[in-house]
């Protein structure tokens, strides 16, 4: 069962990311999507696949260190939610330095780390990448080739990254994450086929 810690994490995540929006566009009218929508979706996915409370809290905060303050945010999360939550978030973080390293270098390192990551990190990562890939596919089906402009890796880099994540997540199977990885593979394949036929 979820406790007051989860509610506290939900409030904290909402506050941290209050001014942040997604790269995707809302289906109804083209407005920006509040970033918290992604955090809620990732938390829902991990809970639906057997997450405990620490994993669900890490899902809500998986981008907090990377996008909202680096080390000071890490220390705050540690004091509020404990070392295990921080360890999961650390495994989901591809860079926290500003300016961030080059996109390709950063993503290659992150992909390489996933195969060695804990089961908890792989569960949150699989949920994160699945929700992101679904959003990328939805935007591609709606906006076509113009949708790639929102991504630093462009068309080729984005397609490479999601396929590489599928393969990395399969290197060290995680029973709870396996249905998420299978769905991620299906979504990425659909995106690849749609892009190839453009």
- CA proximity to 128, closest of 27, 26, 60, 54: 60
Does the annotation count 63 as an active-site position? no
Query: Comparing 130-139, 144-153, 161-170, which segment has the lowest mean pLDDT?
Result: 144-153
Residue 145: the pLDDT is 93
State the pTM of this model: 0.94
Structure confidence at residue 155 as a pLDDT band (50, 70, 90): very high
CA–CA distances in Å: residue 102 to residues 81, 106, 153, 168: 31, 6, 10, 20
Q: Name the residue with higher pLDDT: 98 or 57.
A: 57
Query: Catalytic one among 53, 67, 96, 183?
Result: 67
pLDDT > 80? residue 27: no
Residue 31: the pLDDT is 66
pLDDT > 90? residue 58: yes
77-101 pLDDT tens trace: 999 999 999 999 999 998 777 777 8
Query: Comparing 8-12, 27-31, 177-181, which segment has the lowest mean pLDDT?
Result: 27-31
Residue 53: the pLDDT is 98
Q: Name the residue with higher pLDDT: 143 or 53.
A: 53
- Percent of the chain residues topping a pLDDT of 90: 76
Query: Catalytic one among 54, 63, 66, 139?
Result: 66
**Residue 152 · residue 136 · CB < 8 Å:** no
Does the annotation count 67 as an active-site position? yes
- Classified as helix, coil or strand, 34 is strand
Residue 111: the pLDDT is 95
Nearest-angstrom CA–CA distance, 2 and 156 = 40
pLDDT mean across residues, the chain: 92
Average pLDDT over residues 37-41: 97
CA–CA distances in Å: residue 188 to residues 19, 83, 92, 181: 29, 33, 20, 10
Domain 4-196 belongs in CATH node 3.50.50.60: no
């Amino acid at each position: 069962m979820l406790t007051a810690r989860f509610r506290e994490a939900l409030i904290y995540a909402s506050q941290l990311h209050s001014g942040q929006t997604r790269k995707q566009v809302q289906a109804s009218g083209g407005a920006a999507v509040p970033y918290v929508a992604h955090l809620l979706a990732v938390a829902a996915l991990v809970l639906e696949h057997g997450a405990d409370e620490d994993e669900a809290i890490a899902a809500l905060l998986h981008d907090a260190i990377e996008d909202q303050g680096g080390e000071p945010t890490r220390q705050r999360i540690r004091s509020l939610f404990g070392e295990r939550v921080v360890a999961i978030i650390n495994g989901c973080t591809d860079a926290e330095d500003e300016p961030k390293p080059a996109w390709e270098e950063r993503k290659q390192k992150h992909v390489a780390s996933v195969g060695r990551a804990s089961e908890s990190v792989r569960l949150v990562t699989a949920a994160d990448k699945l929700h992101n890939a679904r959003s990328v596919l939805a935007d591609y089906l709606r906006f076509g080739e113009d949708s790639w402009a929102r991504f630093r890796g462009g068309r080729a880099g984005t397609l490479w990254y999601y396929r590489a994540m599928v393969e990395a997540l399969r290197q060290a199977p995680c029973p709870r994450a396996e249905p998420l990885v299978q769905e991620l593979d299906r979504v990425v394949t659909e995106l690849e086929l749609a892009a190839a036929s453009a």
